Amino acid sequence: MATERAGAVPDRGPGRLRAAARLLGAEAALTFRRPRHLAMLGVLAVVPILIGVAVRLVAGDGVTESIVAQVAGNGLVLTFAAFFVMLPLILPLAVSVVAGDAVAGEASQGTLRYLLTAPAGRGRLLALKYANVLLFCLAACTLVAVSALVAGLVLFPSGPVTLLSGTTVPFAEGLLRAGVAVLYASAGMAALGALALLFSTLTENPIGAISATVVLVVVSEVLAAIPQLSALRPFLLTSWWNAFDGVLRAPMDTGRMGTGLLVFAGYIVISGSLAWARFTSRDVTS
């Protein structure tokens, strides 16, 4: 009997992983079925198309500004242009809604207390919520890139890509660089998602958590634009979102992008730790 009990122990690890995968799948299914989330994803898919149409119309008038000319000359560049336009506010807003609603939404609906009765524990539940936020960040950034790529290839010619440094690379390498940009943008949104999740543990009102996150983004953008406060820029999360343009240089600017990833990681660790401390030690269902 001791042998049988000992043989049952190794199954606990895989069993827990399967249970976590099922819970994550259920959480993701709820996230991607909610009408407001689907509406946001629809906006994320439409905006790159609108940008492409606007560039096509402007380019048709003979405007030769660099970004317009680059997009008009190669549809793949629309992918990078879409991130330049959408990273400052549109993508952060979508991520803020999902992450800000993760805990506060459950608390406001009264369903959080039932989730906390599960044997998984508060720490694992919070990790599950954040894993779902990560999936949404990756899905949102991928959707923007795919929509921009399809629109770009339909509206404009394709071929070798001319980088910001003036070097021309093959179309396949341009696609690879676009993929790196997607991953970098997803990491930046994941850092914002950790902040929004922290705010979500501090209130039972999801609108409050979402608003706090959006206000923080806007304030950071304003602070970064003030020359007298330039010393703050390296510490502002928003200052590093557009560092994905390192993929448009030859060689790729991995130094600046690497620093940005470290900043993102710092925000994730600090925000995640504070969210864990709040969620595991205080009553969030009262």
pLDDT of residue 187: 98
> pLDDT digit string (tens) for 177-190?
999 999 999 999 99
Both structure tokens of 177: 């660089």
pLDDT of residue 64: 47
Q: Report if pTM > 0.85.
A: yes
pLDDT of residue 9: 41
**Alpha helices, DSSP H, located in 34-121:** 35-60, 66-73, 77-86, 90-109, 112-115
**Alpha helices, DSSP H, located in the chain:** 2-8, 12-33, 35-60, 66-73, 77-86, 90-109, 112-115, 122-155, 171-201, 206-225, 254-281
> pLDDT digit string (tens) for 102-145?
888 877 765 665 555 554 578 888 999 999 999 999 999 999 99
pLDDT of residue 28: 92
Residue 63, pLDDT above cutoff 90: no
**Measuring CA to CA, how many Å separate 135 from each of 102, 141, 190, 206, 237?**
13, 10, 9, 20, 20
pLDDT of residue 14: 74
> pLDDT digit string (tens) for 205-262?
999 999 999 999 999 999 999 999 999 999 999 999 999 999 999 999 999 999 999 9
pLDDT of residue 60: 59
Dist CA 21 CA 31 (whole Å): 15
**In this structure, are residues 199 and 213 in contact, taking their beta carbons and an 8 Å threshold?**
yes
pLDDT, mean of residues 35-53? 95
Residue 93, pLDDT above cutoff 70: yes
